[in-house]
A and B are shown apart, each in its own frame.
Chain A
Amino acid sequence: MTRFMPVIHVLLLTLVITAPFLLPDYRSSLSALWILIIVALTWDLTGGQMGYNSLGNIFFYGTGMYVAAIITIGIAYDVGEYTDAAGGGIFAFTPTQYFMGFGFGLIGAGLFCAACAIIIGSVTFSLRGPYFAIGTLGVAIAAGELVSNWEWVGGGQGISMPNYPGEQERLFTYYSFATVGVVLYIFLRWLYTTRFAAAMNAIRDDEEKAEAMGIHTLRYKLVAWAIAAFFVGIVGAIEAFQALHFEPLETAYQTINLGIFMVVCVLLGGKGTLWGPIIGAIMFHVFKEITWNYFLGWQWVALGALIVVTVVYFQDGLMGWLMSKKPEWFGIRVETRDTSTAEAAE
């Protein structure tokens, strides 16, 4: 298996690059898939590898959107005046302003979200298990409600972003997402081979013992969450540019949409693996597109049902199922002969 890995990776990369030309009608759908893949991978970093099931990672997504918007608009105009005019036509952006906003917006969103993760995490990481999930969910909902009352950034009406100065907007956002996704994949692939990942797994398996072994658990938890927040913030920022207009409760801090989808993606694919979240995201995305197209009106019910069924009946996910059926694919050796000889000895 390992021999073919470079070949597989080159093939995948080619697929990633050519996908928008192979399926030109599905470019925005492919972008949406990248969002799911990235948020699922980052959720798995804390949820699957470290055992801290956050329901509030969507906070970083929404915050990333708003930070990017404020930076982009702030470079050219006064944000308060801009939102008062509700993005009226008097505010034009030159391509330079747009791309400066894009670049600084992405970096700013990532860094700001990472800082938020460290500040919020230093409180919430003292919560365990379900309390952590509820606490982070509370942070995300509260943030959405507070932003929707904050008139300076447009309140509940939301905020408008400048238009892309050019023709190929879809391709631009697709490749932005794809770049972030590929970088994240390479980064996680490296990270999961380091001592850092071993420490995260130790925290997941038994936090008290990990602490007793001299692992500074809070520091590991904060860094892991900050990494997740950094990438989710960037994805949110790109989505802000793609969405053109967004409002706090339904698109930015969409707790019950994307906030829960990322968890479902990870569970569908398999927790605590590198490829599980990616495969889960693809499965979920296909399911979502099909229900949106063929069961319009009932799509949300179908999604809720998918969550319940996944959680109740299929929690190990595809990778977990494969791992129990075909352990040899994962380099786990099952020595059947040992047990038979042991029985014979008895």
Chain B
Amino acid sequence: MDQILGNIDLLIQFPIVNLKIIIDGVMIGALFALAAYGLALVWGVMNVKNLAQGDFVIAGGYVAWWMTQKGIHPLLGVPAAFIIMWGIGWVIYKLVISRVIERDLFTSLLATFGLAIMMAQILNLMFGSDTQSIDLGYDTLHFADGLIDVPISKLIGVCMALSLAAGVIIFMKRSRMGQAIRATAQDARAARVLGIDTEKVYAFTFSLNSAICGAAGAIIVMAWVIQPFYGITYSIRAFVIVTAAGLGNLPGVIAAGLGIGAAEQYGSHIFGIGYQQAIAVLLLLLVLVVRLLIQRRKRQVLQ
């Protein structure tokens, strides 16, 4: 308890520490937002709640890490992870997801939970259970007498995440396929009537989601660490963000992503690093309860 008060006291005495925490949080939050955007996409278009989202992220990270071990430049790992995870996502769609779209939501939740267990274990068997990271060998920038340190690798990662997000958004707005995806999300039956091959749209959407996650993972492995069993917390963070922001609300997803990144950093600063996972999960419960209270005022339930 004293330690917690001391940590809070530190924040008040040195306001600059707040800035450091927020910068850290926003940088990792950008990647959470990326994974959450993919989740919202799949959720909105085909009504599948993908609990394997975090494991796609981790798998993408391992693709990049493995390529670096083979002597390929780490920055090339991001597009490589994008492409390879696209393929994996397509295979998973054809084998599993395409068969659960029409079923009730618990089916898709459980099927993707099974997938999550499988993927985490396969990664564990292939790469071992140690935490892994790629050292890019770049400098760290220091501000405010060394109180704020920003590794250049993290900055590069955030820039890549931003450009990926911008690319996906432009794609969804401008391209034919993006239009078809949005049409299917609005009304799948009407889209079919108007000649859109919704099956193709579903496959494309799921592969795109998997690829976005993979690229996010490849960025994470450059600046942070990955481990085969970290997937479930990324899935939960993605759920927190989407539940807080709602479907089809892109600014909301970005704001919630950055906010959750910052909230987690604050939490782990105040309560200690051991609570980081717990905070991610408690935020989910908090968001659910808040949304529940809003719905209850309208005499509705969250469904």
Please tell me if the beta carbons of B285 and A139 are within 8 angstroms of each other in the complex: yes
Partner of B107, one of A255, A256, A311: A311
In the complex the two chains form, is B111's CB within 8 Å of A301's CB? no
Shortest CB distance A164–B (Å): 33
Q: Are B236 and A307 in contact (CB under 8 A)?
A: no
Q: Does A263 contact B (CB under 8 A)?
A: yes
- A215 CB-CB contact with B under 8 Å: no
Given A129-B105, A142-B278, A297-B125: A303 in contact with B96 (beta carbons within 8 A): no
Q: Which chain A residue has the least Cβ–Cβ distance from B289?
A: A123
Using A127-B292, A145-B278 as known contacts, say yes or no to A300 and B121 having CB atoms under 8 A apart.
yes
Q: How far is the CA of A306 from the CA of B100 in the complex (A)?
A: 15
* A residues in contact with B99, CB < 8 Å: 312-313
Q: Taking the complex as formed, is A190 at the interface, i.e. its CB lies under 8 A from any CB of chain B?
A: no
Do residues A128 and B125 form an inter-chain contact, with CB atoms below 8 A? Answer: no
- Among the 9-residue stretches B112-120, B153-161, B201-209, B246-254, the one with 4 or more Cβ atoms under 8 Å from chain A is B112-120
Q: How large is the interface on A (under 10, 10 to 19, 20 to 34, 35 or more residues)?
A: 35 or more
Which residues on B sit within 8 Å (CB–CB) of A306? Answer: 114
Say yes or no: A138-B284 contact (C-beta < 8 A), given A130-B49, A301-B122, A311-B100: yes
Closest partner residue, chain A, to B119 (CB atom): A304
**A96: Cβ under 8 A from any B Cβ:** no
Bound: A138/B288 CA distance, A: 10
Bound form: Cα–Cα A133–B292 in Å: 15
Q: Is the CB of A304 within 8 A of B115?
A: yes
Task: Name the contact of A127 in the complex, choosing from B113, B116, B274, B301 (C-beta under 8 A).
Answer: B301
Contacts of B301 in A (CB 8 A): 126-128
The answer, yes or no, to whether B239 is at the interface (CB within 8 Å) is yes
B148 interfacial by beta-carbon distance below 8 Å: no
- Tell whether, in the assembled complex, residue A307 and residue B114 are in contact, meaning their CB atoms are under 8 Å apart: yes
Decide if A127 touches B288 in the complex (CB within 8 Å). Answer: yes
- Are A131 and B100 CB-contacts (below 8 A) given A304-B115, A304-B118, A307-B114? no
Asked whether any CB of chain B lies closer than 8 Å to the CB of A308, the reply is yes
- Can you name the residue of chain B whose Cβ is closest to the Cβ of A256? B117
A134–B100 CB distance below 8 A = no
Which B residues are CB-close (under 8 A) to A307?
Answer: 110-111, 113-114, 117
A301 to chain B: which residues have CB within 8 Å?
Answer: 118, 121-122, 125
Tell me the minimal C-beta distance from B125 to chain A in angstroms. Answer: 6
Taking a contact as CB atoms under 8 Å apart, the answer to whether A134 and B118 are in contact is no
Q: Which residues of A contact B49 (CB under 8 A)?
A: 130, 134
Collect the chain A residues with CB atoms within 8 Å of residue B107's CB: 311-312, 315
User: Which residues B130-154 have CB closer than 8 A to chain A?
Assistant: none
In angstroms, Cα B100 to Cα A297, docked, is: 29
Task: Tell whether, in the assembled complex, residue A133 and residue B109 are in contact, meaning their CB atoms are under 8 Å apart.
Answer: yes
Contact A311 B285 (CB under 8 A): no
**Complex CA distance for A301 and B122, rounded to whole angstroms:** 7
Given pairs A130-B49, A311-B110, A313-B99, 7 additional interface contacts (CB within 8 A): A129-B303, A135-B288, A138-B288, A145-B277, A260-B110, A300-B124, A304-B114
Please, could you name 28 A-B residue pairs with CB atoms under 8 Å apart, sorted by A? A55-B109, A55-B113, A126-B296, A127-B292, A127-B303, A129-B303, A130-B49, A130-B106, A138-B282, A141-B277, A142-B282, A142-B285, A149-B272, A149-B275, A156-B274, A256-B117, A260-B113, A267-B110, A300-B117, A301-B122, A304-B117, A304-B119, A307-B111, A307-B114, A311-B107, A311-B110, A313-B99, A315-B103
Closest 8 CB pairs of A and B: A304-B118, A307-B114, A145-B278, A128-B303, A300-B121, A304-B117, A308-B114, A142-B281
Q: Which residues of A contact B (CB under 8 A)?
A: 53, 55, 123, 126-131, 133-135, 138-139, 141-142, 145-146, 148-149, 156, 255-256, 260, 263, 267, 297-298, 300-301, 303-308, 311-313, 315
